[in-house]
Structure 1
């Protein structure tokens, strides 16, 4: 006799992630998923320990999806015994919003019941989020929210608060830090809301607290470390990852506690580079669930024991808390699984001599003159009162900040801790949008030049990377330049030229260049501006376009080399590969190079980009 198994899926953000994720992260995320297993007429999930309720009656409300996983031949008594055993591991003190959560639990339980796993679009959500610049910036904040002040103590609503230091990077990365902070707090509270287990009569009783006997170093689980409590979930992991490093441990093993921090550090560093989606570090506690069966299958009898598996086959095994052996064998396995590309061994002195640093336009203009020129354009037009007000707002603070940030005296240093806050940047952007909607493209170049300089300031560039198209000055100016190029409006030559320089400066900020080159961002607009400008009649415009083309090529090449080297610091900053798009760019550069007969400077820039 078999019993059906279902997966209930909830969105902890209640639709906010779907509406706001693209503007906040640059990537579409349809939900912050919470899952539970429904079997034997019970809904079972992980939060403050292992909890259960009647199907659809939890504090998460109505499920967004109800997915049929299959059927299980395991009887309810055996299942209850399994839950009792793994409850030692799935305790409230180990819960982490990204690292060890309800989805970790349901994946393990479904592996036990059916031998399958939860859908990849649920499992991959944390890595998808952390792969964005905004997600990477929020990582310290989330870690701080789930840091335990006392080893073994479960988090409470009072402890789910980010510290000012932990939120600083997130503030700089978000166009709306207040919204981001409130969204994060709401998700965390919903995910970890106190709940109750429901007994067979329908009355509620508090879920029993389980206090694990763990050291402070193991009271939480590192993000890249998978937990397996049964053979089914372990084999599912082997099938979905090419390289697997497994650690067999037990709660009473002293050497295990000594080596676990090394194992977790390795997991963090090695799953953020080459093949990050195909490398897994996994812990199997031989005293939890059916962990002993996994150990028996591989003839593991002592702890700690480390297994190294490639394509589901064991390649090496060693016993004991030897950190040097663990590191060297991990590096060897990853080299076997992901050998460096043969081209990395070739020597190309001329190519290697080329700098990959972007070409930037850093000249500080006479800011008072720029503002005066912009004011004359606004005052000379039949502008509505709100445009005049926008000009006044912009003139009062924007050049003042730029003067302080970029002193005219080259020997002078800007004041310490000088940084534009997001609200101030948003006010400049709104004023810019108002003015740009009225002035013709030919009169926008003073305004573009202000932003061209400002993008060398990292907080401003980062804000622009996450702003919506309607409020993002970079997108507004690109749209104006595209229209001018399409109509061959030579009166807008200055605006097109300064817009290209602005885009070149944008490549100095990783989050902004990724937004400009990402298919989900502004790749189409960036490509139109670049390709059209490469064949422009004006040599200065072609020179600026060649500089932008070089910066784009250098960024893409650096991303490839970082992936080949397994550089973990570059995780989440690469642009998705698109052969057709890259062929379009290369073709435009080659055509421009073949046509260039008037300017050696332009030709040199074209050759570097090519």
Structure 2
């Protein structure tokens, strides 16, 4: 035989919350809700432990609203056994301090509404309405709500059975009341609201109320000491299933009262629950605690094969997607952020299916070929000698010609060498500064057309992490990377016909700087070489020489991949800030599109440019506001699709299948 299940809803503010909440908190809150479950002709609720009265006969009077929750097939004896189990969890405990005090807190995890939700879950498999469950997060996100928390707690202080009461036992302290009132822009209204809640909240000794309170049978949960943790308590499978149905993202903490590691990580779990469900975020994710030793908590754990505590399980759309065991606060935070990232993509592109784009590695394109170092030194010597060098330049050449090639030869053995690269080989700061000073002296003497052998040595050198890291912090006046960059940009600006080799090798050098993250970050910073790299790219992408254009496309890809990786890391909460600049990205996207349009010879260049365009566009904060209008004006989709047609790139257009798929995907999904 089935029985009807209802919940009775009471407003502790007696209507004042609906009238005054917007003035007091800035939000419309229709009530400060107290609920009870009514079944088998009994009204059962949580206050000073689990209490019971005839329906509508409790000290709260007539319910404001009655909500039908369906019917239950569970018999009354089974429900009574469940309540006995619940009394171990929903107790009238006192805190570890000397002040007698019930664990009931209106805005804590152990409150009348969480108890009602647990009972409804056990009886029907459903859950109470969200407008009741989510009251704590909504209310506590306001300054007045935050100040009111200790006052609300104080309203429910009761003496422990058998212990002499402390007077006054039914009044919040003047300090907590004053703090809540002062947090409101209208103290008079705030005082009225508090008085109304106070008068409704206390449990009088009435013959109309038949209540029983269990004695303390287990240590109080750590979480009962805070009112700021909007955590759902589940003691049965039905209650958890209801929460999984009502939230896209759910984190479940399996714990037990006797688990020491659980107590260690519980404060971090509570902090996450508060920070991730605060204010406007309250409907995004649910944080749930299951005590394996309480009620049917063991059945909940068995369903998900939980064998040890603490264990955290992560659910997305009712499916378990990850499990974390033990005390690892950093990993817990990371997994919560990752769950939110997948449940609520922070960018329109994050929910797009882009298999071709996602298959592109964000690793930089590097030019690692080892030149014949002795030939490079010989060529450099010829160029310096023909330039009528000063004694200082000759001394710089002699300095550079000895230790620098020796280090590079040992660090990067020739392909046919049997010697293995030495482990943990690092150039000291003093030696690096000596090489950099000598390089600066020679670069000032040689024209751009004759400096490329020296550039090629540093092109190889920056692949060494110790050299790349040193360049990241070196002065711009002696930093070889910035010196060569400036020289190549000048050659491009002046259209120096004989500077092709300098431009080509400098582009490869710049691509290799992305082997060291700190060096790439410094070069792309607003205060670093970003403007010079941009000038270099814009000019060299349209160079008449195919090798130069391909090298420029490689550099463009590395810049875009660096941005893309930073954006993904930032969205997942595992990386630092990156310096976004919509105007800069617009300039680069425009240059890349023009280069794609003009490139009719090199399919490799088109491939790298399209990949760069994809990374510039995907997840860009400036996509909607600046890049979309640019893509429309420049007819980006038509430009890309033109590369697939005859004559678009080569006689038959782009031929490689994977390149064609990438072009189609970028054109149709990111450029429209």
Find out whether 1:77 has 2:77 as its counterpart: yes
SS of the aligned residue for 2:288 comes to strand
Residues 23 and 64 (structure 1 numbering): CA distance in 2 closer, same or farther, change over 3 Å? Answer: same
- C-alpha deviation, 1:238, in angstroms: 0.9
1:152-196: CA deviations, max 9, x gaps?
x99988467556665566444424424423522541453342567
Find out whether 1:24 has 2:34 as its counterpart: no
- C-alpha deviation, 1:208, in angstroms: 3.9
- C-alpha deviation, 1:127, in angstroms: 3.1
1:180 corresponds to which residue?
Answer: 190
Aligned pairs (5 A) from 1:1-400:
1-92=1-92, 93-99=102-108, 100-139=110-149, 141-142=151-152, 158=168, 166=176, 170-188=180-198, 190-194=200-204, 204=210, 207-214=213-220, 218-219=224-225, 222-272=228-278, 275-341=281-347
Residues 315 and 260 (structure 1 numbering): CA distance in 2 closer, same or farther, change over 3 Å? Answer: same
Question: Larger radius of gyration, structure 1 or 2?
Answer: 2
Rounded Cα–Cα distance in structure 1 between residues aligned with 2:138 and 2:314: 26
Aligned pairs (5 A) from 1:441-590:
none
Rounded Cα–Cα distance in structure 2 between residues aligned with 1:300 and 1:196: 45
Gaps of at least 5 residues in structure 1 are: 345-563, 568-610
- C-alpha deviation, 1:260, in angstroms: 0.9
TM-score by length of 2: 0.46
SS of the aligned residue for 2:283 comes to helix
Rounded Cα–Cα distance in structure 2 between residues aligned with 1:317 and 1:31: 38
- C-alpha deviation, 1:303, in angstroms: 1.0
Rounded Cα–Cα distance in structure 1 between residues aligned with 2:277 and 2:147: 18
- C-alpha deviation, 1:111, in angstroms: 0.9
Rounded Cα–Cα distance in structure 2 between residues aligned with 1:69 and 1:4: 8
TM-score by length of 1: 0.50
Asked if the contact 2:105/2:111 (under 8 Å) is kept, the reply is yes
1:421-451: CA deviations, max 9, x gaps?
xxxxxxxxxxxxxxxxxxxxxxxxxxxxxxx
Rounded Cα–Cα distance in structure 2 between residues aligned with 1:157 and 1:228: 36
- C-alpha deviation, 1:46, in angstroms: 0.6
Residues 120 and 197 (structure 1 numbering): CA distance in 2 closer, same or farther, change over 3 Å? Answer: farther
Rounded Cα–Cα distance in structure 2 between residues aligned with 1:215 and 1:117: 23
1:476-519: CA deviations, max 9, x gaps?
xxxxxxxxxxxxxxxxxxxxxxxxxxxxxxxxxxxxxxxxxxxx
SS of the aligned residue for 1:277 comes to coil
Rounded Cα–Cα distance in structure 2 between residues aligned with 1:271 and 1:294: 24
1:114-144: CA deviations, max 9, x gaps?
1111122222333333344533454465467
1:26-53: CA deviations, max 9, x gaps?
4333322211111111110010010001
1:204-234: CA deviations, max 9, x gaps?
4654444531365655565321101111110
Rounded Cα–Cα distance in structure 2 between residues aligned with 1:23 and 1:299: 49
- C-alpha deviation, 1:66, in angstroms: 2.0
Rounded Cα–Cα distance in structure 1 between residues aligned with 2:184 and 2:149: 13
Task: State the aligned residue count.
Answer: 342
Rounded Cα–Cα distance in structure 1 between residues aligned with 2:246 and 2:73: 24
- C-alpha deviation, 1:13, in angstroms: 1.9
Asked if the contact 2:51/2:211 (under 8 Å) is kept, the reply is no
Asked if the contact 1:256/1:321 (under 8 Å) is kept, the reply is yes
Q: CA RMSD in A?
A: 3.5
Residues 322 and 126 (structure 1 numbering): CA distance in 2 closer, same or farther, change over 3 Å? Answer: closer
Asked if the contact 1:197/1:205 (under 8 Å) is kept, the reply is no
Rounded Cα–Cα distance in structure 2 between residues aligned with 1:120 and 1:156: 37
Residues 155 and 320 (structure 1 numbering): CA distance in 2 closer, same or farther, change over 3 Å? Answer: farther
1:547-601: CA deviations, max 9, x gaps?
xxxxxxxxxxxxxxxxx9899xxxxxxxxxxxxxxxxxxxxxxxxxxxxxxxxxx
